[in-house]
Amino acid sequence: MSQRIPEDLQKKGLRRRANADVDKLTAHRGMATWGETLVPLGDFRQAVRKSGKELTSAERLVAVKDYLEASSDDTLIEGPFSKIIVFGGVYSNSFALHALLDEAQSRRPDAVYCLGDLGGFGPNPETIWPLLTESAVRSIQGNYEESLAGGRDDCNCGYADPRDNHFAEISYSYTARNCSSEFKRWMGGLPKRRRVRVGQRELLFIHGSPRRINEFLFFSSTSVPFLETLLDQERCDGILCTHTGLHWHRRLPSGRDVINVGVIGRPANDGRTEVWYSVLNDEGDRLSVEFLPLAYDYQSLASAMRREGLPDVFVETITSGWWTTCLEILPARERAASRF
C-alpha cells in the first residue's frame, strides 16, 4: 500500500530534501519521535515507563509455565518397532521410490514411513500411488497432499520469495492437473501426524513441524532451545520431519533426537545425483540414526520430465545434484553450501 510517487514529484522531493536533510540530522536533539510527532525525550521516556506490565519474579514463573503448557495429542501409538525406514518428499519421483522399496526389501525393516509431499517437481504424479499402497508404506500428509485434497489453488509450500513461488506454482499446477480426484481423496484421508515407538522411545512424525505443516526446520536456523521446547510440549522422545529437502539430525542436550529425514524426490543440493533416506534402529539405551544415499535411474526420470514439458531447470537439478530453484528460502549456512 505504499504511495507511488510520480516521477516529477520525486524530482521536486529531491530539491526539498537538500534542506530537509539538515533538519533531519539535528531535529532529534533532546527530542524523541512519538508516533509522527517530536516530543521532549523526557516525556517519551516517562510515557514508556508507564506502559506495559512489570510482573513479579513469581508471576513471571507462572506466565512462562502457562505459556509452555504441553499440548494434548490423542494420536494412537504404532509399534513398538526395532528398525524402521523413514523418507520424505517423493515429489512424483517413482524411479527413486522404486529403488527405495527395493532397498526396503533387502534391509527388512519392521515398517516403512513416508512423511509427505508426494507430488511436485517430478512427472506423472499418479504413478507413485500404487507403489505406496501395494508396499504398505505408512504415509502422512504434507502440505502438498493437504492442498491437493482441499482443492487449494497453491501448494502452501511457505515460500516468501517471488522466484521461489514462481517455480512452486509451475510444479503445483502440473501436479494438480495430473492427479485423479480419487488419488486426491486418498491423500486427504492420510493422517497429519503419527506417533511411533522405536524401542523405548516414542517418536512424533509430522511433515513440517508439530505446529505448522509448512514450517521449514533447517539445521542452521532452528535453535536447540526451540527444539527442546517442542519436544516438551509434544511429550515425545524425538521428532521426525521433512519439508526442507535437506536431511539433518540433532541429538539434543536432553538426549532426545530431532531428525529431518530429507527427501527422495530430488538431490540434497550436494552435487550428487543420489537422494537420501533414513534408517532408525533401537539399540537399547540409544537410538541409532543413519542417513543413506539412494542411487536410482535418474536419467529415466530426467527423460520423463522432459517429455512432460517440465522446466529445464528442474531437470538440471536431477542430473547435477544442485538446486536451481527455490533457493531463496535457504538460511545463510545452507545457501553458502549451494552452487547457485
Partner 1 sequence: MDHVTPSDYPSAELRSLDTLWFQVGGTVCNLACSHCFISCSPTNHTHEFMTLKQVETHLEDAVALGVKDYYFTGGEPFLNPEMEDILAATLRVGPATVLTNGLLLDSERCQRLGALAGSTEYSLDLRISIDGYSAEANDPIRGEGTFERILTGATRAAAAGLNPVMTVTEVHRDNVTSEGRQRFFETLRDRGIERPRLKILPVFQIGAETERSGAYESWQQLAKDDVPEDRWDHLQCSTSRMATDQGVWVCPILVNEPQGRMGQRLADTLDSFPLSHQACWTCHVHGVSCRT
Cα gap 137→86, rounded to integer Å: 10
Beta strands in 176-285, from DSSP E residues, in sequence order: 194-198, 201-205, 238-241, 248-251, 257-260, 275-283
Choices 21-29, 80-88, 130-138, 174-182 (CB under 8 A): range interacting with partner 1: 21-29
How crowded is the C-beta side of 306, counted as CA atoms within 13 Å? 11
Q: In the numeric block, which cell numbers belong to residue 151?
A: 482443492
328, three cell numbers: 531463496
Task: Identify which range of 2-10, 74-82, 178-186, 269-277 contacts partner 1 by CB under 8 A.
Answer: 2-10
**235 counts as binding partner 1 under rule CB under 8 A:** no
Told to check if 337 binds partner 1 by CB under 8 A, we report no
Please choose, out of 36-44, 172-180, 239-247, 260-268, the segment that lies near partner 1 by the rule CB under 8 A. 36-44
Tell me: does residue 334 bind partner 1 (CB under 8 A): yes
According to the binding rule CB under 8 A, does residue 107 interact with partner 1? Answer: no
Angle formed at CA 11 by CA 5 and CA 17, multiple of 5 degrees: 95
Of 27-35, 75-83, 98-106, 239-247, which segment contacts partner 1 by CB under 8 A?
A: 27-35
* 43-62 footprint of partner 1 as x/- string (CB under 8 A): -xx-xxxxxxxxx---xxx-
Choose the stretch contacting partner 1; rule: CB under 8 A; options: 94-102, 104-112, 309-317, 321-329.
321-329
| Among the listed residues 33, 82, 181, 300, the single contact to partner 1 using CB under 8 A | 33
**CB–CB of 103/67 below 8 Å?**
no
Per CB under 8 A, does 70 bind partner 1? no
Residue type, 87: F
Nearest distance in Å: CB 249, partner 1: 12
| Binding-site member from 42, 63, 254, 293 for partner 1 (CB under 8 A) | 63
**Of the residues 77, 224, 295, 313, which one makes contact with partner 1 according to CB under 8 A:** 224
**CB 207 within 8 Å of CB 213:** yes
Number of residues interacting with partner 1: please give it, by CB under 8 A: 70
* Alpha-carbon gap, residue 33 to 135, rounded angstroms: 65
Q: With binding defined as CB under 8 A, does residue 64 bind partner 1?
A: yes
The length of the chain in residues reads: 340
CB atoms within 10 A of CB 316: 16
**Binding segment for partner 1 among 111-119, 128-136, 155-163, 255-263 (CB under 8 A)?**
155-163
Residue with cell 492437473: 177
Residues 193 and 75 sit within 8 Å (Cβ to Cβ): yes
**Residue 114 three-state SS:** strand
Q: Which of 73, 102, 161, 308 is close enough to bind partner 1 by CB under 8 A?
A: 161
Find the binding residues for partner 1 in span 163-202 (CB under 8 A).
Answer: 163
- 158, 215 contact by CB (below 8 A): yes
* Separation between Cα atoms, residue 327 and residue 333, nearest integer Å: 12
When binding is defined by CB under 8 A, the residue of 102, 151, 200, 226 that contacts partner 1 is 226
Per-position b or e across 258-293, b if 16+ CB within 10 A of its CB: bbbbbbbbbbbbbeebbbbbbbbbbeeeebebebbe
Query: What is the grid cell recorded at 119?
Result: 507430488
Residue 229 engages partner 1 in binding (rule: CB under 8 A): yes
Q: Is residue 331 a contact residue for partner 1 (CB under 8 A)?
A: yes
Residues in the site for partner 1, rule: CB under 8 A?
Answer: 1-5, 10, 13-14, 17, 20-21, 24-29, 32-36, 41, 44-45, 47-55, 59-61, 63-64, 66-68, 160-163, 211, 218-226, 228-230, 327-329, 331-336, 338, 340
